Amino acid sequence: MEQKEIDKLMIKQVIQSVLAEEPSHSVDLLQRELSPLDFDEQLSEFCDKYDLGNWFYEAMTLNEVDIISELVGIFRHKFQDEQEANKEESLIATALKRAQS
C-alpha cells in the first residue's frame, strides 16, 4: 500500500512537470475538455495529448489518479502565481511612472 502512494506521488509530479510551461488558461481549457469524458477516457486523452504512453496510463489507472482534480489544483496554483506576477509588474510600472514624473 505504501508503494502505491509513492507511485501516486511520482505520477502527480510527472503531471506537474508536463504542465509546467503551460499557462493557467491552457490547463483550465484542458480540464474543461476532459471533464465530460468518463474516467478512463480522461486518462487516455491526457496521456495521448502529452505522449506519455500506455505505461503511464496504466499507472494512473492503477493508482486511481483523478486527472480532473489534479488539473484543477494545478490551474489554481498557476492562476494565483500569474495574478501575483501581474500585481508585481503593475507595481513596478507605477513606480517607474512616478520616478519619471
- Parse the chain into domains and list their residue ranges: 2-100
pLDDT of the chain along its 101 residues, tens only?
444 546 899 999 999 999 999 999 999 999 999 999 999 999 999 999 999 999 999 999 999 999 999 999 999 999 999 999 888 888 787 877 788 87
All cell numbers assigned to 25: 488558461
pTM over cut 0.75: yes
> Long-range CB contacts (< 8 A, 24+ apart) of 39-47?
42/67, 42/68, 43/67
How far apart, in whole angstroms, are the C-alpha atoms of residue 61 and residue 43? 8
All cell numbers assigned to 62: 492503477
